Amino acid sequence: MSSSSKRGMVGLALVIPSFLILLVVVIIPILYAVKESLIDQHGTGYGLANYIRLFTEPAMRRNIIYTINITLVSTALTLVISYALAIYLRFGKGVVVKWIGRLYFIPMFVPGVIATYAIITMYGNHGWAARLLLPLGIETIPRIIYDYKGLVLANLWFNIPFATMLLSSALASIPNAVVESARDAGASTMQLFGRFILPLSYKTMWVAVTFIFMGIMGSFTAPFLIGANSPQVLGVAMQQVFSSYQETHTASAMAVFMFLLCSFMGYFYIRTMVKDADAG
C-alpha cells in the first residue's frame, strides 16, 4: 500500500467519527422532521397541507411575519451598534475605552433565564426603572416587557457582546499603517470606513450576521418569558402547537420552515466565502 493511500485511510478514519455524530445529531433529525411535516393531520397520507396551513391560517401567518420582522430589526440594530462599538474600541483612546473593553463581554456569561428575569425586574410595571422615575414625577413608563420592544432589547443584550467580540478581532488585524496612510492621503472618516475598514472586516461581519440571525430566529427563553401572547415568535408558537395542541406534524412543518430560513441566510454566507476563496 502506497503512502498516499495510507494517509487517505488515516484521514478517512479521523473523519468517520465526526460524520457519524453529525449524522445522528443533525442529519437524521432533520430528515425525520421533514418526513413528519409531510404527514397530514389524520396520519393517513403525505402532502403539503401543513405548510399550506402556515401561510393561510391568519394566526400562523402573523407569527411568521412577526418573527421575520423582529429578527431582521434586531439583527440590523445589533450589527450597527456592535460595529460602532468595535470601531470605538479599536481606534479610541483613554480610560473609558479600556473599561468598555474589559466589561462589554460580561453579558455573554450571564445565563439567558437570569438576563430575562433582570429585564423583567428592571422594566416591569413596578420595576426598578419605575421606582427611580417616580421621585421625578413620572408615574408611568412606556410598556417594554411583554411587548415587541422588550424582545428587541433582550436580543440586543444577548448578541451585542458576541458580535462586538468578533468585529473587534477583525478590526484589530487591520494594520495601523493602512489607517495612517489613508489619513495622510486626505481620506475622510467615511472614506476610511467605506474603502478600508469595511472591506477588510466584512468577512467577519457576515459571520456575525449569520450567527446573530440564526440565534434570534431560534430563540425561545426571552420570547417565552417576556413576549406577547399574540403574535408570537415561531419558537414559542411551535412549542405550544407541539405540547398544548399535540399537533406534531404542524410543529414539524414550523421547524422545517425555520430551518429553511436559517439555511437561506447561511447560503449567502457560504457563497460569499466561496467567492473570496476563488478570488484568492
The model's pLDDT over 160-198, given as tens digits with 9 standing for 90+, comes to 999 999 999 889 888 888 888 888 888 888 888 888 888
Rounded to whole angstroms, how far apart are CA atoms 151 and 73? Answer: 11
pLDDT exceeds cutoff 70 at 114: yes
pLDDT band at 2 (very low <50, low <70, confident <90, very high): low
User: 158 to each of 33, 106, 165, 182, how far by Cα in Å?
Assistant: 28, 10, 12, 35
User: Which amino acid, residue 21?
Assistant: I
pLDDT band at residue 28 using 50, 70 and 90 as cut-offs: very high
Cβ atoms within 10 Å, residue 94: 8
Return mean pLDDT, the chain: 87
Domain 59-279 has CATH 3.30.450.20: no
Q: Return the bridge partners of 39, or none.
A: 46
- What mean pLDDT do residues 117-145 have? 83
- The pLDDT score that the predictor gives to residue 279 is 58
* Least confident segment among 8-12, 149-153, 231-235: 8-12
DSSP state of 42: T
Res 92: pLDDT: 86
- The whole-number pLDDT of residue 278 equals 62
Listed in sequence order, the DSSP H helices in the chain are 3-22, 28-37, 49-56, 58-91, 95-103, 112-123, 128-133, 148-172, 176-184, 189-192, 198-217, 221-226, 234-243, 248-279
**In the chain, where are the structural domains located?**
59-279
Q: Of all residues in the chain, what percent carry a pLDDT higher than 70? A: 97
Count of residues in the chain: 280
pLDDT digits (tens, 9 = 90+) for 133-163: 888 887 777 888 888 999 999 999 999 999 9
Cis peptide before 161 (omega within 30 of 0): no
DSSP code at position 134: G
What was the pLDDT predicted at 78? 95
> What cell was used for 265?
441566510
Percent of the chain with pLDDT strictly greater than 90: 34
Query: Rg (Cα) of the chain, in Å, rounded?
Result: 24
What's the confidence (pLDDT) of residue 62?
A: 94
Supply 164's cell numbers: 462586538
108 band by pLDDT with thresholds 50, 70 and 90 = confident
Q: What is the pTM of this model?
A: 0.87
Average pLDDT, stretch 44-61? 89
Query: 257, 54 in Cβ contact below 8 A?
Result: yes
C-alpha 118, offset from chain centre: 21
Whose grid coordinates read 450571564?
Answer: 110
Residues 171, 238 contacting (CB under 8 angstroms) = no
**SS3 call for 93:** coil
Check whether 280 has a pLDDT greater than 70. Answer: no
